Structure 1
Amino acid sequence: MKLTIVTHNVIKGDGQGRVNYEIAQEAIRRGHHVTLLASQVALELQQSEQVNWVPISVKQWPTELLRNIVFAFISTNWLQKHRSQLDVIKINGAITHASGDVNAVHFVHSSWLKFTSQKTQSKSTKTTQSRRFLYNFYQWLYTALNAHWEKQAFRRARVVVAVSSKVAEDLQAIGVPPQKIRVIVNGVDLQEFSPGNNSRSTWNLPTGVPLALFAGDIRISRKNLDTVLKALVQVPDLHLAVAGITEGSPYLKLAETLGLHGRVHFLGLRHDVPELMKAVDFLVFPSRYEPFGLVVIEAMASGLPVITAATTGAADLVTPESGIVIADSDDVEALAKAMMLLTSDRHHRQTMGQIARAIAQQHSWEQMARKYVDLLEELQP
């Protein structure tokens, strides 16, 4: 089979990039030839005789929207010229305007656009509105355009793969026929993320106290750190480690305003999250909209119980024995109650963490990749 994958990155250190990296490796193991239309590709794939990398450089463009437009234009032209030489094309969302046999959906912009439009906007001062107007308009434009382009891309695909049942529901809501949808959940590296005990002193974190972890982009409201901080006020014995870029984040000031300065520890962007997870007691991640949420399954693989929300796709993996799923991501009281439960019972945390690890072991990257390549082989001429 001559397989072509169209994606920005095919590398391990990126969610969507890791998915495509594993698919490429599995295809190579089965003897297939893989063409990668991408901006960045892992060195080991570049060196494989079975891989043809078609580099698409877009880093010189100033915004993600422009980079995506240019990437789509270049990849579309290439695919139109070479389509007769290819057996199966796998694309991701609206990354190209050419038709793909399989479209893997990691985010449904229509759903996020609908969600944000339904939420009552918080009041802000005229100065703040003025300062953030262009940024907010750009975010809206980016989401709206992608929502439009995605619908077209999904119609052109023979099969649309959803990374969770939540994404499958979102796809049906925008008109994708159920019979066209397959669900293949993302995987986890069971060696990189595994149970263990690390000294908190590495991160200057307090010892002898219950410690939760929040990891994600804390510059945006979607990840929902604000609700976590408000709930933390009601759980006085709990400390919180926050991994995420602090520059431009409003939550450092919010934590101070809420009187949490001594209990919230902002660690900045971390590249050692697998090790950090060995130093905390549980993960709290009630994202307002998350098609999957790799951090959830990574925490489970690390033997941590998880608190998340039904709006997170990976919540499907969280059973009552391995974590807590709150119905409403913005329910401060429900989140505080869940955090209090895990804070107060160490034995319960440990038992839940063991079950969480067992669940994660059923979802390795290799298992995920086999399901994808099985599907791609079904579609080859």
Structure 2
Amino acid sequence: MGRVGDGKPRRDRAAGEAVRVLFVNAKQRPPLGADTWVHAEIMRRIDRERVEVHAACVLESGGEPTPTLRLLREIPDIAIRPINLGRELSGETRLSKVFGVLSLVPALASLVRLALYVRRQRIEVIHTADRPRDAAASVVIGKLTRTPVLVHVHVGYDARWMRGMLRWAIREADGLISISEFVTETLISNGHDADRIHLVLNGIDESRWVPPAGGSGVRAELGIGPDVPVVVTACRLFRAKGVAELVRAVGEVRDLVPDVTLLVAGREMEHGFVDELHHLIGQLGLHGQVLLLGRRDDIVDVMAAADVFAMPSYQEPFGLVYAEAMALGLPVVALDNGGTPEVVRHGLDGLLSPAGDAGALAEHLRRLLVDPDLRHRLGERGRQHVREQLTSDRMAADAADVFERVASGRHLAPAEA
């Protein structure tokens, strides 16, 4: 089947009528991840005079409402449709995966029902994430119903680790939404036509990222004095996030800041990595100065207890957490690669160092920890940058522009030969 603009029938829509968009997200288990949160924010914030929102998700898992359903129920003016694409197979045992494959039988019936829903509701655009199963199912439904499909790409394209199912879906989708220029460049460098790619930078709900009154609760809980310099990082714990490098950098800055404390908030996503961090902390004599907090529900309070936010993540596609830290008025220390420079402006909102330059990373921490005026200056600029450029409202408005272009067929290059 060709792409939009080369023969797909367009559904007639009266001038000024809202575009009917179906968001597909079959995530069943926590943690939901940034992609689910971003798509929910778009659904929540998008102008209902421009876009009519429909959402397909799994309603129950283990007899309980799925986290995705609970999130969607908080959004007004949305039509929720059940979907069943089978069990999530990532992270399961081989035997579990066998039973997961068997669950694909009812998934086929679910696909047919969703395709009928697309026809009945006259859906004009199907939007989904770059989760392999969701993306592939959405493309199949799009082909069955001749409805354009957009895959929202949240990671740099890399065929070396991406599943064949996802590579096929990205290739066959009518268009791609990219979260950063960095992600766009990875797609183009791997042969995807720039005319198919729409840039929609991520954004955050800045009203959620307000420092708590007083701000001393977490410090008191952890036994950290009000004058102790604190660095915080918040991320899923695996090696590419740079937590080990950050621990080493904290060890280096003790020459000028002997009482520096690092708070590490996040859930282990790479088996054995937390044990490695504990070993490293012991090696460097940082017991009591590097605190591994695990997953925290009060992450705003945890981050607000710090003086500096740091996450030297390698090739970060965007970095929502940077924007969240900036909204709290924290200066950011990070790497000058991936999509990070599109969020954090070196010398304006934070300090960026080259990947692998441990000395520069430590020096940036040192500079901020000993200079409260610099921290304040960068923190205020970062807060302003978020207000002006990195909000959920701006993100939703940009997404609405894309949906309107796709629905009218005013996008994309001709079909590939």
TM-score range, shorter chain: 0.7 to 0.9
Q: Is the Cα–Cα contact under 8 Å of residues 26 and 373 in structure 1 kept in the other structure?
A: no
The answer to whether the aligner puts 1:191 opposite 2:207 as a matched pair is yes
Q: Which amino acid aligns with 1:35?
A: H
Q: Is the Cα–Cα contact under 8 Å of residues 3 and 88 in structure 1 kept in the other structure?
A: yes
After TM superposition, list the pairs within 5 Å mapping 1:129-278 onto structure 2: 143-145=161-163, 148-195=164-211, 197-199=214-216, 200-218=219-237, 220-236=238-254, 237=257, 238-245=260-267, 248=272, 249=274, 250-278=276-304
Compared with structure 1, are the counterparts of its residues 348 and 50 closer, same or farther at alpha carbon in structure 2 (3 Å cutoff)? closer
Q: Is the Cα–Cα contact under 8 Å of residues 19 and 369 in structure 1 kept in the other structure?
A: no
Higher mean C-alpha deviation, range 247-256 or range 368-377: 247-256
The answer to whether the aligner puts 1:367 opposite 2:367 as a matched pair is no
Q: Is the Cα–Cα contact under 8 Å of residues 12 and 21 in structure 1 kept in the other structure?
A: no
Q: Give the aligned partner of residue 30 of structure 1.
A: 49
Q: Is the Cα–Cα contact under 8 Å of residues 151 and 174 in structure 1 kept in the other structure?
A: no
Q: Give the aligned partner of residue 383 of structure 2.
A: 357
Could you tell me how far 1:54 is from its partner in structure 2? Answer: 1.8
SS in 2 for 1:96: helix
Q: Is the Cα–Cα contact under 8 Å of residues 135 and 151 in structure 2 kept in the other structure?
A: no
Q: Quick one: distance in 2 between partners of 1:327 and 1:68?
A: 43
Q: Quick one: distance in 1 between partners of 2:186 and 2:208?
A: 31
Q: Give the aligned partner of residue 135 of structure 2.
A: 96
Q: Quick one: distance in 2 between partners of 1:174 and 1:305?
A: 34
Q: Is the Cα–Cα contact under 8 Å of residues 319 and 343 in structure 2 kept in the other structure?
A: no
Q: Which amino acid aligns with 1:5?
A: F
SS in 2 for 1:29: coil
The answer to whether the aligner puts 1:7 opposite 2:33 as a matched pair is no
Compared with structure 1, are the counterparts of its residues 345 and 5 closer, same or farther at alpha carbon in structure 2 (3 Å cutoff)? same
Unpaired segments ≥5 residues, structure 2? 1-18, 59-67, 140-147, 409-417
TM-score normalised by the chain length of structure 1: 0.81
SS in 1 for 2:333: strand
Could you tell me how far 1:159 is from its partner in structure 2? Answer: 2.2
Q: Give the aligned partner of residue 335 of structure 2.
A: 309
Q: Give the aligned partner of residue 116 of structure 1.
A: none
Could you tell me how far 1:96 is from its partner in structure 2? Answer: 3.0
Q: Which amino acid aligns with 2:156?
A: V
1:117-165 CA distances to partner (integer Å, 9 max, x unpaired)?
xxxxxxxxxxxxxxxxxxxxxxxxxx342xx333322222222111111
Q: Quick one: distance in 1 between partners of 2:100 and 2:236?
A: 20
1:90-109 CA distances to partner (integer Å, 9 max, x unpaired)?
12123232425221101235
Q: Give the aligned partner of residue 339 of structure 1.
A: 365
Q: Give the aligned partner of residue 344 of structure 2.
A: 318
Q: Quick one: distance in 2 between partners of 1:57 and 1:42?
A: 18
Q: Is the Cα–Cα contact under 8 Å of residues 38 and 55 in structure 1 kept in the other structure?
A: yes
Q: Quick one: distance in 2 between partners of 1:156 and 1:208?
A: 56
Q: Is the Cα–Cα contact under 8 Å of residues 12 and 42 in structure 1 kept in the other structure?
A: no
Compared with structure 1, are the counterparts of its residues 43 and 333 closer, same or farther at alpha carbon in structure 2 (3 Å cutoff)? closer
Runs in 1 of length 4+ with deviation above 6 angstroms?
A: 10-13, 67-72
Higher relative contact order (CA 8 A, sep 6+): 2
Unpaired segments ≥5 residues, structure 1? 114-142
Q: Which amino acid aligns with 2:152?
A: A
Q: Quick one: distance in 1 between partners of 2:71 and 2:357?
A: 45
Compared with structure 1, are the counterparts of its residues 90 and 368 closer, same or farther at alpha carbon in structure 2 (3 Å cutoff)? same
Q: Is the Cα–Cα contact under 8 Å of residues 8 and 17 in structure 1 kept in the other structure?
A: no
Q: Which amino acid aligns with 1:340?
A: R
Compared with structure 1, are the counterparts of its residues 276 and 49 closer, same or farther at alpha carbon in structure 2 (3 Å cutoff)? closer
Q: Give the aligned partner of residue 21 of structure 1.
A: 40
After TM superposition, list the pairs within 5 Å mapping 1:279-290 onto structure 2: 279-290=305-316
SS in 2 for 1:167: helix
Q: Give the aligned partner of residue 127 of structure 1.
A: none
SS in 2 for 1:41: helix
Could you tell me how far 1:280 is from its partner in structure 2? Answer: 0.4
Compared with structure 1, are the counterparts of its residues 266 and 53 closer, same or farther at alpha carbon in structure 2 (3 Å cutoff)? same
Compared with structure 1, are the counterparts of its residues 217 and 176 closer, same or farther at alpha carbon in structure 2 (3 Å cutoff)? same
